[in-house]
Chains A and B, each alone.
Chain A
Amino acid sequence: MFRNTRFWVLGVLIIGLLSWGACGGDDASSDEPIRIGLLHPHTGALAGLGVDMTSGYEHYFEEEGMVIAGRPIEIIVEDSEGNPSVGLDKLKKLIERENVDIVAGPVSSGVAYGIADYIRQSEVPIFITQATANGLTQGDRAPNIFRTAFSSDQLHLPMGEYYVNELGYSKVAGLALDYAAGHEHLTAFKNALERAGGEMVQELYPRLGETETSTYITSIKADEVDAVNAILWGATAVPFVNQQHEFGLRDRVPLTSLGSTVEDQLELPNQLPEAAEGIISYLAYCLCLETPANNAFKTSYEAAEGKLPNYYTAIAFTGAKALGEAIKAVDGNVSDREAFLAAAREVTFDGPMGPFSYDEYQNPVINVYVREVKIGADGEAYNALVDTIENVDQFWGMSQAEKDALLNPS
């Protein structure tokens, strides 16, 4: 039995292949590099954001020479595909097989929720680079979950008062994408508007990825509102701005938006300048910021990558810096988790998006910038700074009762 050599050769080959594939890295000692697992979508519908964010994240560590506090930095990138199941698998791989010390990512809120339970049990520190789902730093918060971007609510909280008092728009029609993040964004704006005494007259939710926006533009009750707020991004934002121009929407009602509807380097280059000109928008970043930190970032990023950074690279760069500063604060000793988490909470610095610090729930306090689309001498559209609202945290303007309800959901 089993005397055939080919049988044995095949068996040995298969076992060899399996064990080669299954062998992972060994435990890291203090002389070894700090291993950072980066979980970003590089394929799938969110690939554009993910690739840019990885680029911004790596740019920070490259600027630091890939060494922080004397310890070399190793970044292991895994593609979450923007898919929670895949993201969970890849996270397990990063933690159980690659033995990463720290996880950064994800971009999608779905992936963030998909990995939340696992990350809580594993106790590995995670620095969420983008996923804005409110719960992650509220009802579902955990000591090892940090967010370096902002929550969905946060961008909109101060805008209620701003719309009613500064812009004079108290009746608004809103558009947001029909998925979890879109609903969170528009609901946050609606609540803020109502807190300030305004009224949300109409809510429209185009499908995520919808590119045929004419129906929604036609449906806007332009005669009954003071302004439209388009909280869109990506594949829906580009045609929306172009098509509303053709339909003459702005002849009937002013158009405002979340910054991501008309963002420099992203949507704006694909929109007709005359269609976007004059749109007031708000976001946690503006390429136009003339702060030393943003100017330095723009210069070094352009020198390294050959193109200007965008909103997502700026967010990722800020997140990487928040992590880097935390590693510096413990002098590279990230294996003492308690000390590392305590030091990470205290991180403050001036980044491209403005001053950075965490609130007590490990979500940053941000600046919200109000901008206006202008047309430059070269005929290209760009956003110019109009106003800055400083020190906005994730509960800005809320009552204690509202805050408690968010922090301790039943």
Chain B
Amino acid sequence: MDIWFTHTLNGLSFGMLLFLVAAGLSLIFGLMRVLNLAHGSYYLLGAYVGITVSRETEMFWLGLLAGMASICVLGILMQKLLLDRYMHDEMAQILVTFGFLFIIADVALWIWGGHPQSIVKPSLFDGSVQIGSIQYPVYKIFLLGLGLILAIGMGLLQEKTRVGAVVRAGVDDEEMTRGLGINVPIVFTAVFGLGALLAGAAGVLGTANTAVGPAYDFEILVFAFVVVIVGGLGSLRGALVGAIFIGLVDSYAKAVIAEFPGTLSPTLAQVTIYAPMAIVLALRPNGLFGRAS
């Protein structure tokens, strides 16, 4: 049973990382109806910027800050200069964001090369703790806690503050919000920047525990897609529940296959994250927490 406890913790901490990426994707869509296919690239680029800065300065937190800031700026630029023009043009959005998926992937390969790289964890969260009979990494627990705190914080921001009220109003009825004299474009830009920032942060935080290399942008994007399909686009709660759910499913599926070798290829096991997605879609086409049509 200890093993399954560990698998649960693993799934939860991976889920929290997915939440950081999916929350931005979901919020941006909810407010602007923009499906950002370059969202996984924010993770990748954030990670690489974090790697370079933290290596040069030997300070993890500076790397995290640089990764977040640079991706935030990139997101704002993309939104202001390109996506803003194509607010209701779905085809153009796909093309622009897909274009950036490729551009960022190739530029990152050009600059940082193709070998996978990692970031040295902050020494504060080095080592592991003893939980009962098992030894568990402190950093993973930190990720878990941080994800939860961010989720609660963002939930409070959305539900209890004026800023959140404006955003919610924008989601519900953009024209009406504009009519009330609220500067909607600024809200749009701010939310896009925040979404990008979260993805960049996830990139740095996630890479400190693992590694990043070419094609990881797309991998994260597909995971984030499945999360928001399950949870429902535009819903923060949906992103959280979807992320935890997919994180756990992924962890358990890998564990089960490890227990019964030879039955299934682990790559085929990736299908296990699509199965719940298909079931949710069949029952609730807008996801668990997506707004009913």
Binds A, one of B25-33, B85-93, B133-141, B237-245: B133-141
Question: For the side of the interface on B, what is the size category?
Answer: 35 or more
Contacts of B216 in A (CB 8 A): 209, 211, 235
Binds A, one of B165-173, B179-187, B207-215, B227-235: B207-215
* Contact of A202 with B128 at beta-carbon distance under 8 Å, contacts A209-B219, A218-B7, A239-B210 already known: no
Q: Pick the residue among A43, A219, A243, A270 that contacts B209 (CB under 8 A).
A: A243
- Expressed in whole angstroms, the Cα–Cα distance for A211 and B214 within the complex equals 12
Q: Is the CB–CB distance between B266 and A48 below 8 Å? A: no
- Expressed in whole angstroms, the Cα–Cα distance for A202 and B87 within the complex equals 53
Closest residue on chain A to residue B215 by CB atoms: A45
- Expressed in whole angstroms, the Cα–Cα distance for A61 and B232 within the complex equals 57
Q: How far is the CB of B228 from chain A (nearest CB, A)?
A: 20
Contacts of A271 in B (CB 8 A): 118
Q: Is the CB–CB distance between B211 and A211 below 8 Å? A: yes
Bits for B192-216, please: 1 = Cβ < 8 Å to A, else 0.
Answer: 0000000000000000011111111
Say if the beta carbon of A24 comes within 8 Å of chain B.
no
Give chain A interface residues in 207-247, CB to chain B under 8 Å: 207-209, 211-216, 218-219, 234-236, 238-239, 242-243, 246-247
Binds A, one of B34-42, B65-73, B106-114, B148-156: B106-114
Q: Is the CB–CB distance between A239 and B118 below 8 Å? A: yes
* Contact of A215 with B255 at beta-carbon distance under 8 Å, contacts A208-B267, A246-B137 already known: yes
Q: Pick the residue among B115, B214, B219, B258 that contacts A216 (CB under 8 A).
A: B258
Most buried by A among B14, B128, B254, B269: B254
Say if the beta carbon of A168 comes within 8 Å of chain B.
no
Say if the beta carbon of A385 comes within 8 Å of chain B.
no
Say if the beta carbon of A266 comes within 8 Å of chain B.
yes
Contacts of A178 in B (CB 8 A): 265-267
Q: Is the CB–CB distance between B265 and A235 below 8 Å? A: no
Q: Is the CB–CB distance between B106 and A43 below 8 Å? A: yes
- Expressed in whole angstroms, the Cα–Cα distance for A251 and B134 within the complex equals 12
Q: Is the CB–CB distance between A234 and B14 below 8 Å? A: no
Contacts of A246 in B (CB 8 A): 127-128, 135-140
Give chain A interface residues in 46-61, CB to chain B under 8 Å: 46-51
Q: Is the CB–CB distance between A215 and B267 below 8 Å? A: no
Contacts of B212 in A (CB 8 A): 211, 235
Q: How far is the CB of B20 from chain A (nearest CB, A)?
A: 14
Q: How far is the CB of A313 from chain B (nearest CB, A)?
A: 12
Contacts of B140 in A (CB 8 A): 214, 246
Say if the beta carbon of A203 comes within 8 Å of chain B.
yes
- Expressed in whole angstroms, the Cα–Cα distance for A213 and B210 within the complex equals 8
Q: Is the CB–CB distance between A47 and B214 below 8 Å? A: yes
Q: Is the CB–CB distance between B265 and A242 below 8 Å? A: no
Say if the beta carbon of B282 comes within 8 Å of chain A.
no
Q: Is the CB–CB distance between A43 and B109 below 8 Å? A: yes
Q: How far is the CB of A145 from chain B (nearest CB, A)?
A: 26
Q: How far is the CB of B18 from chain A (nearest CB, A)?
A: 10
Contacts of A44 in B (CB 8 A): 214-215
Say if the beta carbon of A248 comes within 8 Å of chain B.
yes
Q: Pick the residue among B137, B262, B267 that contacts A247 (CB under 8 A).
A: B137
Interface residue count on the A side (C-beta < 8 Å): 42
Contacts of B211 in A (CB 8 A): 211, 235-236, 238-239, 270
Q: Is the CB–CB distance between B135 and A248 below 8 Å? A: yes
- Expressed in whole angstroms, the Cα–Cα distance for A208 and B109 within the complex equals 19
Contacts of A213 in B (CB 8 A): 210
Q: Is the CB–CB distance between B114 and A51 below 8 Å? A: yes
Say if the beta carbon of A375 comes within 8 Å of chain B.
no
Say if the beta carbon of A384 comes within 8 Å of chain B.
no
Closest residue on chain B to residue A52 by CB atoms: B115
Q: Is the CB–CB distance between B116 and A50 below 8 Å? A: no
* Contact of A266 with B255 at beta-carbon distance under 8 Å, contacts A246-B139, A247-B137 already known: no
Say if the beta carbon of B261 comes within 8 Å of chain A.
yes
Contacts of A361 in B (CB 8 A): none
Contacts of B275 in A (CB 8 A): none
Q: Is the CB–CB distance between A243 and B137 below 8 Å? A: yes
Q: Is the CB–CB distance between B266 and A207 below 8 Å? A: yes
Give chain B interface residues in 111-130, CB to chain A under 8 Å: 113-118, 120, 127-128
Contacts of A45 in B (CB 8 A): 114, 213-215
Q: Is the CB–CB distance between A48 and B115 below 8 Å? A: yes
Q: How far is the CB of A191 from chain B (nearest CB, A)?
A: 16
Say if the beta carbon of B251 comes within 8 Å of chain A.
yes
* Contact of A239 with B209 at beta-carbon distance under 8 Å, contacts A45-B214, A46-B114 already known: yes
Q: Is the CB–CB distance between B213 and A48 below 8 Å? A: yes
Give chain B interface residues in 232-283, CB to chain A under 8 Å: 251, 254-255, 258-259, 261-262, 265-267, 269-270
- Expressed in whole angstroms, the Cα–Cα distance for A205 and B270 within the complex equals 13
Contacts of A50 in B (CB 8 A): 114
Q: Is the CB–CB distance between A215 and B10 below 8 Å? A: yes
- Expressed in whole angstroms, the Cα–Cα distance for A266 and B216 within the complex equals 18
Say if the beta carbon of A95 comes within 8 Å of chain B.
no
Give chain A interface residues in 344-402, CB to chain B under 8 Å: none
- Expressed in whole angstroms, the Cα–Cα distance for A273 and B267 within the complex equals 31
- Expressed in whole angstroms, the Cα–Cα distance for A215 and B251 within the complex equals 6
* Contact of A202 with B261 at beta-carbon distance under 8 Å, contacts A45-B214, A178-B266, A238-B211 already known: yes
* Contact of A48 with B113 at beta-carbon distance under 8 Å, contacts A211-B210, A211-B212, A239-B210 already known: yes
Q: Is the CB–CB distance between A204 and B115 below 8 Å? A: no
Q: Is the CB–CB distance between B267 and A266 below 8 Å? A: no
Most buried by B among A46, A179, A234, A266: A234
Give chain A interface residues in 237-283, CB to chain B under 8 Å: 238-239, 242-243, 246-248, 251, 266, 270-272
Q: 29 A-B Cβ contacts within 8 A? A: A45-B114, A45-B214, A48-B114, A48-B214, A49-B114, A178-B265, A178-B266, A205-B266, A207-B266, A207-B269, A208-B267, A209-B215, A212-B10, A214-B10, A214-B137, A214-B140, A218-B7, A218-B255, A219-B259, A234-B213, A238-B118, A242-B118, A242-B209, A243-B210, A246-B128, A247-B135, A248-B135, A270-B118, A271-B118
**9 nearest interchain CB pairs?**
A48-B114, A47-B114, A246-B137, A211-B210, A48-B115, A219-B258, A235-B116, A238-B211, A239-B210
